[in-house]
């Protein structure tokens, strides 16, 4: 008998009918003789509704009170799922983040898991109860409610799986697994049976929108086997685990990310410490910078270009403009008409020529590359947003990914 | 400087505009130099909406999970009120039942307060913060969320006032205080400046719908001064306290309660233990019996009539019918076309003739009395429901209650 952690997102628990679907999936695992811990997000639009309620009373509420407010969302969905399972005649109990021992640091709105105090969950599992836990939320050292920020419920599920030593952490989504490319763009995209943590991390950060990075990082750290699978269709998903299959595929998938904006600082002085000055300013504002390109200095001047996510663009521009007296750029340009297209695969580490094959695919398709960024297991290019889908199809085709 | 506890019901915090009204009332007390603890119910229809959500998934959910679900309601309203007060620039923090130390017994759905662990509230008060506490909810010994049942938020407020030694516990409602009769029925009904705990208890249980009995009982036990006042109009309310004013009024108020049904057991054997048999059956089903009338035995047979609330009628009839083999009534009759009209006043203890004055008023109005019940400070009569309003007016007039 093994322990399985299952996580269901807000869409999966949005109404009574969907709750019953979820309950049946949970009961199936339970009736197979497994101990089951279920992590749920807030129902469908609950979080948006609560944010709107907050906005009506205060345009800048404290993060502490927002966490109190938003955590009510999972409290509602978890009790409704428990009631649904009660109706279907299985023993069940729901636990909030604090009841389940989800101890976090003190950062409201984006807390990090510190540890899971498993006593209560283990006691309920010993009683043969299905345990429903509120995702996304925890409790800090002073006894206040915290939330884990974006992708928080995935992180909750992995943290619980790690703490309880679960065999498997199943993340139920609206897709049947991880594909070689977005099936909406590439018709013959193929579902992968398994993928390594590192490949998944690159895919997640590159806009594959399946799993949040934090959860994959945690799964890698504690060696938790994850499965990404559909909450609607009963078909095997994609397993995310330590080792890739013996025969390493060159390239595992192609992704596109449109949530990219480029900022260019034109004509800054070509002197030591300039990049540090710029990027430390942005780091202080918690703005992550992705691809960076620095032109070769000429006449003591150079250009620095880099990308940020579109939601960080305004804040980044504000920061740079406020500090341009010190930075000394003659102009600060930006564009949002840009996409990042990437290929990911642990196999490419030992295979030279992968990059040139990718560039060839783009050249054949007549697509101009603006910036390039590489790591051991991925290659990203920045191109015009209008060319992005064409690029994904061309690359997917070039690497024969539909024949894996 | 003194400590004031203020309680606002669901209607008072129903939307952003009302939340701001409440916030301003709270801030007024705070800016006057008081420490302020605010107890809130769930917003407007939230509780009904949550009950409906539960009903959609399970017609008989466990009480434990219902408590988890419903307690989310106050968590939402308390954080929204805190955000509103933040916007108005005063230091504030919201606390759930478990954070505020509201320790209850283990009865889900109708828990009783055991104690208030005041450490966290006192620490926040010491920081000069306005403290918002979720009413209606607590935590039991195993760390589960409980709710206090009907009138629970009033009880929360009084329990906190008692534990913190507050000067005053203000219960904000949609009326400006306690009146000599329902102003919708009796045009010249008068607001009372003060009333004793005992009188308030009788009025509350008699359908005055102002305060829930449990809160008044607790206020009496711990000698907490309560004030019933309007959340909309800024006028003094009615103080509920230990001692009545020196000059005791004969009668303090007239009430009417339509939530009454009468059951008659016709022709039961006139033998010892018969009443005990009947009422212990109902007690086991948690059905409270109010006015009881037993006919004088004749031919070894008697009739037993009594009242229950209308919502308990069906359950009472079911219980009696199931057990009628043992009870042996020839017939079990019932009616809901009945009202209880009562007068209340500590002064009547030492004033004979009050009852006859009341009966005279009813006789003058041509109203027939079906049953009578008396205590030291109240007299109730059961009459036909259609006569109830006329009866209240006639009695109010007879006792000159508009000239207090």
Answer whether B72 sits within 8 Å of A68, measured CB to CB.
no
pLDDT digits (tens, 9 = 90+) for A319-337: 999 999 999 999 999 999 9
Q: Distance between CA B113 and CA B140 in Å, rounded? A: 9
In the prediction, which pLDDT does A273 show?
79
- DSSP secondary structure string for all residues of B113-125: EEEE--HHHHHHH
Task: Select the residue of A68, A83, A98 nearest B79 (Cβ to Cβ).
Answer: A68
* pTM attached to this predicted model: 0.83
By C-alpha distance, the chain A residue nearest B13 is: A57
In the prediction, which pLDDT does B346 show?
79
Q: Which residues of A touch B13 (CB under 8 A)?
A: none
Nearest-Cα distance to chain B for A121, in Å, is 12
Q: Distance between CA A207 and CA A222 in Å, rounded? A: 24
Nearest in space to B113 (alpha carbons), one of B121, B122, B102: B102
Q: Is there a contact between A292 and A305 (Cβ–Cβ < 8 Å)?
A: yes
ipTM above 0.90, yes or no: no
By C-alpha distance, the chain A residue nearest B133 is: A68
In the prediction, which pLDDT does A226 show?
96
Q: What is the pLDDT along chain B (404 residues), one digit of tens a residue?
A: 699 999 999 999 999 999 999 999 999 999 999 999 999 999 988 999 999 999 999 999 999 999 999 999 999 999 999 999 999 999 999 999 999 999 999 999 999 999 999 999 999 999 999 999 999 999 999 999 999 987 899 999 999 999 999 999 999 998 899 999 988 899 999 999 999 998 898 887 776 777 888 899 999 999 999 999 998 889 999 999 986 554 566 788 999 999 999 999 999 988 877 888 888 899 888 888 888 887 776 778 888 889 999 989 999 999 999 999 999 999 999 999 999 999 998 777 667 778 888 999 999 999 998 888 888 788 899 999 999 999 999 999 999 888 86
Task: Select the residue of A59, A61, A76 nearest B50 (Cβ to Cβ).
Answer: A76
Cross-strand partners of B261: B308
In the prediction, which pLDDT does A353 show?
79
Q: Which residues of B touch A100 (CB under 8 A)?
A: none
Q: Is there a contact between A105 and A159 (Cβ–Cβ < 8 Å)?
A: no
Answer whether A86 sits within 8 Å of B58, measured CB to CB.
yes
The two structure tokens encoding residue B385: 């429901």
Residues B291-295: contacts with CB within 8 Å, 24+ apart? B291/B340, B291/B371, B291/B372, B291/B373, B291/B380, B291/B382, B292/B373, B293/B371
Nearest-Cα distance to chain A for B334, in Å, is 35
The residue count for chain B: 404
Chain B contact residues (CB < 8 Å to A) = 15-16, 19-20, 50, 53-54, 56-59, 61-62, 64-66, 68-69, 71-73, 75-76, 78-80, 82-84, 86-87, 93-94, 96, 98-99, 120, 143-145
Task: Select the residue of B57, B72, B79 nearest A84 (Cβ to Cβ).
Answer: B57
Could you say which DSSP state residue A93 is in?
A: E
Answer whether B93 sits within 8 Å of A64, measured CB to CB.
yes
3-state secondary structure B177-241: CCECCCCCCCCCCCECCEEEHHHHHHHHHHHHCCCCHHHHHHHHHHCCCEEEEECCCCCCCEEEE
Q: Which parts of chain A sit beneath pLDDT 50?
A: 246
Which of the residues A52, A61, A68 would you substitute to probe the B interface, choosing the one with the greatest number of B C-beta atoms within 10 Å?
Answer: A68
In the prediction, which pLDDT does A205 show?
72
> How does strand B331-344 pair with strand B378-384?
antiparallel
Q: Which residues of A touch B50 (CB under 8 A)?
A: 76
Helix (H) or strand (E) holding B287: none
In the prediction, which pLDDT does A403 show?
80
Phi, psi of A264 (to 5 degrees): -125, 130
Task: Select the residue of B72, B87, B94 nearest A57 (Cβ to Cβ).
Answer: B87
Nearest in space to A254 (alpha carbons), one of A154, A352, A335, A362: A362
In the prediction, which pLDDT does B404 show?
62
Answer whether A87 sits within 8 Å of B58, measured CB to CB.
yes
Task: Select the residue of B19, B54, B93 nearest A83 (Cβ to Cβ).
Answer: B54
Which of the residues A72, A122, A131, A138 would you substitute to probe the B interface, choosing the one with the greatest number of B C-beta atoms within 10 Å?
Answer: A72
C-alpha atoms less than 13 angstroms from C-alpha of A353 in its C-beta half-sphere: 4
Give the ranges where B32-181 is alpha helix by DSSP (H). 46-57, 63-87, 119-126, 152-164
Answer whether A75 sits within 8 Å of B65, measured CB to CB.
no
Answer whether B86 sits within 8 Å of A144, measured CB to CB.
no
The two structure tokens encoding residue A154: 């995935």
In whole angstroms, how far apart are CA A269 and each of A276, A283, A324? 13, 21, 12
Which of the residues B66, B80, B119 would you substitute to probe the A interface, choosing the one with the greatest number of A C-beta atoms within 10 Å?
Answer: B80
Angle at B284 between CA B281 and CA B288, to 5 degrees: 85
Chains A–B, number of C-beta pairs less than 8 Å apart: 114
Answer whether A57 sits within 8 Å of B144, measured CB to CB.
no
Nearest-Cα distance to chain A for B237, in Å, is 28
Which of the residues A75, A132, A138 would you substitute to probe the B interface, choosing the one with the greatest number of B C-beta atoms within 10 Å?
Answer: A75
């Amino acid at each position: 008998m093994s322990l399985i952690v299952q996580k269901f997102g807000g869409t999966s628990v949005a109404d009574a009918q969907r709750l019953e679907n979820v309950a049946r999936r949970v009961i199936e695992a339970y009736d197979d003789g497994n101990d089951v811990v279920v992590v749920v997000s807030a129902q469908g639009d609950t979080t948006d509704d609560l944010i709107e309620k907050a906005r009506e009373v205060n345009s800048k509420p404290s993060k502490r009170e927002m966490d109190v407010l938003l955590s009510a969302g999972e409290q509602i969905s978890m009790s409704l799922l428990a009631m649904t399972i009660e109706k279907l005649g299985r023993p069940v109990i729901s636990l909030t983040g604090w009841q389940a021992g989800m101890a976090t640091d003190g950062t409201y709105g984006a807390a990090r898991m510190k540890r899971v105090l498993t006593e209560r969950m283990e006691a309920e599992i010993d009683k043969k109860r299905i345990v429903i836990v509120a995702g996304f939320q925890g409790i800090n050292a002073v006894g206040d409610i915290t939330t884990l920020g974006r992708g928080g419920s995935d992180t909750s599920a992995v943290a619980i799986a790690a703490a309880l030593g679960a065999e498997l952490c199943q993340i139920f989504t609206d897709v049947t697994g991880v594909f070689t490319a977005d099936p909406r763009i590439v018709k013959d995209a193929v579902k992968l049976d398994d993928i390594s943590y590192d490949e998944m991390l690159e895919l997640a950060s590159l806009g594959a929108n399946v799993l949040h990075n934090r959860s994959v990082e945690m799964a890698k750290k504690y060696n938790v086997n994850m499965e990404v699978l559909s909450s609607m269709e009963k078909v095997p998903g994609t397993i995310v685990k330590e080792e890739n299959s013996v025969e390493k595929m060159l390239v595992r998938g192609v992704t596109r990310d449109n949530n990219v904006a480029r900022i260019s600082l034109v004509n800054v002085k070509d002197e030591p410490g300039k990049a540090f000055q710029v990027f430390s300013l942005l780091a202080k504002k918690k703005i992550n910078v992705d691809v960076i390109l620095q032109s070769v200095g000429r006449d003591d001047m150079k250009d620095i270009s880099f990308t940020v996510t579109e939601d960080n663009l305004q804040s980044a521009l504000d920061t740079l403009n406020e500090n341009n007296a010190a930075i000394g750029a003659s102009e600060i340009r930006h564009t949002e008409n840009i996409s990042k297209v990437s290929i990911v695969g642990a196999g490419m580490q030992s295979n030279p020529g992968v990059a040139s094959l990718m560039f060839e695919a783009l050249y054949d398709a007549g697509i101009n590359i603006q910036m390039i960024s590489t790591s051991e297991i991925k290659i990203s290019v920045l191109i015009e947003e209008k060319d992005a889908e064409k690029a994904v199809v061309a690359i997917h085709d070039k690497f024969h990914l539909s024949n894996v």
